[in-house]
Structure 1
Amino acid sequence: MRSCVPTRIVSIAVALACIGWSVATTRAVAQGVYPVSGNLACDVAAVGPGQYTYQQPCEGPIGGALAEYCAPGCCGPRWSFAAEAIALQRSPTRSQSLFLSSRSTAELLNSKDFNFPVAFGPKVSAIRHGVFGSDFDIEVGYFQVDGFEVNTYVPGNSRMVIDINDTFLSTNSSVRYASALYCGEVNVRWQWFDWLTLLSGFRMGELNEQYNASGTGTFTSNPLSLDVNAYNHLYGYQVGAEGEVFNLGCGLQIKGLCKAGIFGNFAGQNIRSVETGASDESLSAVSERVSFLGEVGLVATYAITQRLAFRASYQAMWLEGVALAPEQIDTSNFTAGTAKVNLDGGVFYHGGGLGFEYRF
């Protein structure tokens, strides 16, 4: 499953970062805290063995010597980078009949029966602290998990559901359901208290799904197949907060994170049923709606050196108002030649990550 979303995310991230940079610079100049040369942020300061500070950059009068305003232990880093390998579990879809008994209406396979295995992917972020000496930070983040896939088998004779009305009489059918999630964001961060940082910004995501079923005609022996693709392009605004939960000393710190956003979802689906030598039909549709994305998480860091820290995290994310591949079957009608996009789907993700932070 391939997507060009990383390119789009990088392009939009760069544009928004430039906008945020300009806004922060304007505010800094208006407040008279724009330095004559460079940023007023100091380097990471040692607090003790294996510890370093997390405060925001120091500020001082224009033209003042940095040493006068940045005492040891006072100043934070200019840049922070984090990289993790994450492992997420995905919830199944809501109920959609996929295979029925060939002799009755008994259900042999439903979409909610799919249990996705844990999938892995990268997660990276970068923060520029104290942009041009202002009170604001700029954060850019991205993650992707494109390995959600489950395969199953329906032995013997069955009826393969292909739309709201029709089925194929199929023998020994194979089923595949795959899903991929890509997500990027650009946030402006402001430290309200020494333990609490507020954030707001732009977030975009892409959820792509594929459902495939194949078998052999019970009476015709012709190859049969059903292919359903659903895609969601989400663009929106989010707010959130990051707060210190525990600071246990010895370089160990735990933070909590929450984000919530409203997104415009530009979605579509296409469905194709094929009985080789007999029929080949395709339908497609596009639609849009307002969708919701919420995220909560915990991040624990342990300082290895003054600049490098080990990082362990947990995140849970809920996405509501999206198109999921199996749920498009009942909104398609090959006989009438019509199709709609079912945008009532919801997905829940949760899991952990391990990686490192580097600050300087």
Structure 2
Amino acid sequence: MLVSRFPAALALTLSASGLFAAPVNLDQPSSLDRPSYFAPEKSPAQLWRQDNHPVSLTEDAPAPKVPPADKMYAESLEPGLLAPSAEMYGAGDCSTGSCYDECFQDCFCPTWFAYAGALAMTKDRGNEVWLSNDGGDFSARVMGSEAAAMGWNAGYELRFGRTFACSNWAWEVDYWAVRGTNEHTVTNAGLVGALDTPLDTNFQGLSYNGSNVDAYYNNAQAHRLQRSYDFYNIELNVFQDPTLYTNRCGGGCFQFGALAGLRYFKFREAFSFSTDPSDYNFTGTDDELHYNIDVDNNLIGAQLGMIMNYNWNCWNFYAKTKFGAYGNAISQNSVMYGNLGTAYIDNAMSPNNGRAYNVSGSKGRVSFLGELDLGAEYQVTKRFSMNIGYRVVGVSGVALATEQIPQNFEDLGIVASTPSNGDVILHGGYLGGQFVW
């Protein structure tokens, strides 16, 4: 009985192992009425082209998602999607602080820019040289050289330039000028004594129309001081300004740029101290005498600078610095004259006896100039902006008119030497607008 059952069991075991060992035909549906979970067999030629995504183990699995970066790249290749859209950067309303479309526009890249503005500037007060005093009270100083100091005077500024290949590097030509005059007159009315001058000791040895100059300036009826100041500036700069085309960075950040260029700066000053021994009015009569000094400083040289910006939407707050060393060509003329001619040296002991007091001199030296601009700019439209600021210009090593007054008017060599150790600080505000195209 046991023997008869062994062959039957062996046959059943062999049949089962043969069933699992036999190859499965994947191209035919399974005898089981259900989908296959095995990937179809592919030929070697198809293997290198197959998708690298993992095989889904679920029925009818969706296609794999494309990474966002790849999607943006693919979309950027479609026409019309090469530039950022308004949706990406917000609305273009400058009043709301979102300036992308309205102020900056996609691919907005003008070539030229021009600026025009108004200036209101003044000069620092220099060392006082006393010109008039009360002869009856030597402690009463009636008029000094700063009585006609430069006040606040109007000027203007013009600037234009061009960019380098649609970048924030550009060149520019900048020109500005400020001119001013002032006048002050004193009389002997209300004085304890006569209207005299502390310069009478300096005037010793000078004569006019046969009389010593002291006779005209001492015991006078009126003294008048007139002064004029002219400042001219022209620059050729190459600079980098991150905000040149209103490339604001939005919610507030600092940006820096550089500047290098050439500069010509001219400072001209005129000084006239007049006396009238007869009356209070200067009408050009023969007894009126005038002591004039004209000084001209011409600085030319190279400069370096830095541009610093803080952006907040359509606003830009900036600081600009410039500094340079300049060759200064200085010239001056000193003369004392009236309707009857020029005053002259009248001292037989002097080697300059008989020479007219009309002296000119010139010299060259190295001067230094520094400038600081502080201001704010508002982007009105994508092409037009307005700014307001304050400028300080400091110059050292210049000739000033009051420095040309000698201790001894007979020493014409000292007068011609043209002292030039003065300093000038010019400062004031400005308002203007810039247009780009």
Q: TM-score, normalised by structure 2?
A: 0.61
Deviation of 1:134 after TM superposition, in Å, equals 7.2
Find out whether 1:212 has 2:276 as its counterpart.
no
- Match of residue 157, structure 2, among 97, 120, 123: 123
Aligned residues: 296
- Give 2:73's aligned residue: none
- Match of residue 285, structure 1, among 361, 370, 373: 361
Structure 1 residues 104 and 327: CA distance shift in structure 2, 3 A: farther
Q: Which has the larger radius of gyration?
A: 2
Q: Distance in 2 between matches of 1:52 and 1:98?
A: 62
- Match of residue 177, structure 1, among 227, 231, 241: 227
Find out whether 1:318 has 2:394 as its counterpart.
yes
Unpaired segments of 5 or more residues in structure 2? 1-82, 189-194, 205-213, 244-253, 280-284, 344-356
Deviation of 1:248 after TM superposition, in Å, equals 2.0
Find out whether 1:48 has 2:92 as its counterpart.
yes
Q: Give runs of aligned pairs for residues 1-360 of structure 1, distance below 5 A.
A: 48-50=92-94, 51=99, 73=106, 76-103=109-136, 106=139, 107-130=141-164, 132=165, 136-146=169-179, 148-156=180-188, 157-159=195-197, 161=199, 164-166=202-204, 168-169=217-218, 170-190=220-240, 195-217=255-277, 222-244=287-309, 246-249=310-313, 251-274=314-337, 277=340, 279-280=342-343, 281-330=357-406, 333-338=408-413, 339=415, 340-360=417-437
Structure 1 contact 188–201 (Cα < 8 Å) conserved: yes
Q: As a proportion of its length, which structure holds more strand?
A: 1
- Give 2:282's aligned residue: none
Match of 1:161, SS state, is: helix
Structure 2 contact 183–227 (Cα < 8 Å) conserved: yes
Letter in 2 for 1:216: D
Q: TM-score, normalised by structure 1?
A: 0.73
Deviation of 1:119 after TM superposition, in Å, equals 0.5
Q: Distance in 2 between matches of 1:275 and 1:259?
A: 45
Bigger RCO of structures 1 and 2 (CA < 8 A, at least 6 apart): 1
Deviation of 1:233 after TM superposition, in Å, equals 0.8
Letter in 2 for 1:119: N
Output the aligned Cα RMSD: 3.2
Q: Distance in 1 between matches of 2:134 and 2:106?
A: 71
Structure 1 residues 101 and 275: CA distance shift in structure 2, 3 A: farther
Deviation per CA, 1:270-328, whole angstroms, max 9, x where unpaired?
11112554853311111111111111112322122110112212111111111111221
Deviation of 1:202 after TM superposition, in Å, equals 0.3
Structure 1 residues 52 and 265: CA distance shift in structure 2, 3 A: farther
Letter in 2 for 1:248: W
Unpaired segments of 5 or more residues in structure 1? 1-41, 56-70
Deviation of 1:103 after TM superposition, in Å, equals 5.0
Structure 1 residues 138 and 52: CA distance shift in structure 2, 3 A: farther
Deviation per CA, 1:85-105, whole angstroms, max 9, x where unpaired?
111121122232323443565
Match of 2:221, SS state, is: strand
Deviates more, 1:118-127 or 1:190-199: 190-199
Letter in 1 for 2:181: E
Deviation per CA, 1:305-354, whole angstroms, max 9, x where unpaired?
110112212111111111111221127x4323331212111111111111
Letter in 1 for 2:132: F
